[in-house]
Amino acid sequence: MADACFSTQLIDGDGVFNVTGLENFMKEVRLGECGLSYAVVSIMGPQSSGKSTLLNHLFRTNFREMDAFKGRSQTTKGIWLAKAQNIEPCTLVMDLEGTDGRERGEDDTAFEKQSALFALAVSDIVLINMWCHDIGREQAANKPLLKTVFQVMMRLFSPRKTTLLFVIRDKSRTPLENLEPILREDIQKIWDAVPKPHAHKETPLSEFFNVQVVGLSSYEEKEELFKEQVSDLRDRFQHSIAPGGLAGDRRGVVPASGFSFSSQQFWKVIKENKDLDLPAHKVMVATVRCEEIGNEKVASFIADEEWQQFEEAVQHDYYPGFGKKISSLLDRCLSEYDMEAIYFDEGVRSSKRQQLESKLLQLVNPAYQSLMGHLRTRTLEAFKESFDKALEKEGFAAAARDCTQTVLEKFDKASEDAAIQQVNWDTSKVKDKLKRDIEAHVASVRTTKLSEVCAKYEAQLTKALAEPVEALLDSASEDTWPAIRKLLQRETKAAVLGLESAVSSFELDEATEKELLAKLEKHGKSVVESKAKEEAGRVLIRMKDRFSTLFSRDADSMPRVWTGKEDIKAITKTARSASMKLLSTMAAIRLEEDGDNIENTLSLALVDASRPGTTDRSIQSSDPLASSSWETVPEEKTLITPVQCKNLWRQFKAETEYTVTQAISAQEANKRNNNWLPPPWALAAMAILGFNEFMTLLRNPLYLLVIFVVYLVGKAIWVQSEIGREFQHGFLPAILSLSTKFVPTIMNILKRLADEGQRPAGPERQREMELQPKSTRNGSYSNATSAGSSSVTTSEIGPEYSSPVAQ
């Protein structure tokens, strides 16, 4: 299928560049996809020399042709551009306005020179259309044209090598082999005559131009032959840029995507009448175009859905495979840039590629930093979890070391997975931050664990010391503080050994371990001191309890009964001495073996001061307790000051004085109760004076029976009224109590005797009485009578009465 023919006016007759038309033309012919695989052919020559006709036949374009029947006039105005059909590679054809036209006048050659310079700047092949009959003539029409071409060529600082294809029109019978040398000689003369810059004084024509000559028959007279020759010439334009082609040795080609911008800049410089610096122009075109391509790729990358998904994903969590996927996206973007910019200047292309890569990496960097932040957080959480599990199986230091090494290796692998191939971003800062976070967590857990271990052994030490110390302080003897010191040393040593073993897995430095052990030892002492201070606050209660225990109980811990035989003074002194011993024990903390004289001082001031012969004046003049501190005892070890001891002793004596007084009273009452019988002399007097009455009783047995009955009644009254027990409380209280009990007791006894008399004897009882001898019956009756009246028993606390019914 034949290519469609597209054409547009590139520059109008007034020299205005058609930017929009060129852009649309490039899109239509898809010129941007050609890279360097394209060629530009232009034609110049006198007006009405058949330039457009030649191009239309040669490249199958649709340029406007002159109508010969209307006369010779200007057909092409400005510069037109079209695409050759069915010629590879893509070939652009420019039809220039003819020279020496009457429409512009003889003196208006500015546009002629501008268009010629533009054609030389952008074209690979320039067709010079000339008449055959002008060859060899000094004033031929092609002479001004060639001068113009060579003159404007000198305005290019480094001209590109252009193929000048001279097309000899209406060739005569003279062979081309004879015409070509003459033409080349004329061309050389014109080249030599053109003024040149100093740098190109000796530069040959072949350095800038590849001159070729072709002849064509007359189109009007020999149309078929003309078309045949044009067809042959067309074949030469196939693959024209290949080595050996018409433009095989061209230089400084602008990539097809930059053709529009390059052409605009060329025409702009030409219009401003400035010299063209082709190398600088090439760099400028490459710079602008590569920058445009780079911006397009950046915009394409930003709009890429896959990149947007990655960017969104890494804002919330770590994304596995981020590095490979982003590297792939960047590589694809850079590859597209390379493909589009491959034909531009290498230095500019590489520089803009680096800028593009830098821009893309700047876009990616926030996502990468966010990813690394999530990776650091995830790694830290993984460390915490694995560390907690490892602590259940191994020691602290080993677990921290192993877990740290493991998670850092995983972090390194994840960092490699997140690494982007196009850049080597340093992850050491993130890794250092992770290490600091891990170290901080390990330090926090270490502090917590050590606190727990220390608290455990402190609690054990507290439990091992508190109650025994309290018991030892309560006993308060000379061996109390030595026993406490021994207990403290033993339990502290055991706790220190346990703590030392427990913290060995932490692999602490020597100073820290010693500090922990010293803290535990200090805690043991503080427990003892705290318990001692606590007990010192209750010393008065303890003293009273000890006094009460020793004063109210005997050596067998049995309650004392003040019978009158006890030495209350000695017992009181012993109990107070023991209380003083307790006070001296609680007066100071004695965890060191340094001796003190607290006990002697208290004994001298408190106990010995109460001995007979000691006056108040002597006590006041040498009172050892008139001080706020003890000798040889530091203030921090003092629990009770001497002045406080004195006040406590005064209060102690005041509160225990009542107990002593009660004991003395009980002893005196007991003595009185034990002496209720008459004195012995009274008993002797009664026996002497009552001798007659006693003899009277012996002579009359009836009196004895009456006395016996009275004795039984009296005994029953004694037991029922508990007279003996009442008199133990004193004489007067006993009389008052018995006065209220006497009448009820008499009535109770009479009632029981009446009940016994009315009870009938049973049949068996009567039969036994009949069978028994009389003497036996009389004895039994008397026993029953005695039993019916009363029954007397004794117990540990005295005589007790119990009735027959109860028995």
**Is 46 labelled a binding residue?**
yes
- Asked if residues 374 and 418 have their Cβ atoms less than 8 Å apart, the reply is no
Q: For residue 192, give Cα distances in angstroms to 61, 217, 419, 447, 731.
A: 36, 31, 64, 97, 174
Tokens of 301: 């990358």
Whole-number Å distance between alpha carbons of 724 and 710: 19
Buried b (16+ CB within 10 A) or exposed e, 169-185: bbbeeeeeeebbeebee
Q: Nearest to residue 340, comparing CAs of 299, 292, 302?
A: 292
DSSP annotation of 638 reads B
Angle CA(314)–CA(319)–CA(321) in degrees, nearest 5?
130
- Asked if residues 376 and 433 have their Cβ atoms less than 8 Å apart, the reply is yes
**Is 552 labelled a binding residue?**
no
Residue 63 gets the label, from left (phi > 0), alpha (psi -120 to 50) or beta, of beta
**Is 13 labelled a binding residue?**
no
**Beta strand pairing call for 90-96 and 38-44:** parallel
Whole-number Å distance between alpha carbons of 442 and 198: 80
Whole-number Å distance between alpha carbons of 352 and 436: 40
- Asked if residues 275 and 135 have their Cβ atoms less than 8 Å apart, the reply is no
Q: What are phi and psi of 122, to 5 degrees?
A: -105, -15
Q: For residue 697, what are the contacts with CB-CB under 8 A and spacing of at least 6?
A: 703, 704, 707
**Is 73 labelled a binding residue?**
no
**HSE-CB for 26 with a 13 A CA cutoff:** 20
Q: Nearest to residue 585, comparing CAs of 643, 631, 640?
A: 640
**HSE-CB for 488 with a 13 A CA cutoff:** 25
**Is 45 labelled a binding residue?**
yes
Q: For residue 615, what are the contacts with CB-CB under 8 A and spacing of at least 6?
A: none
* Residue in the block written with tokens 């972090």: 411
Beta strands in 557-698 (DSSP E): none
Binding residues: 45-52
Binding residues for GTP: 45-52
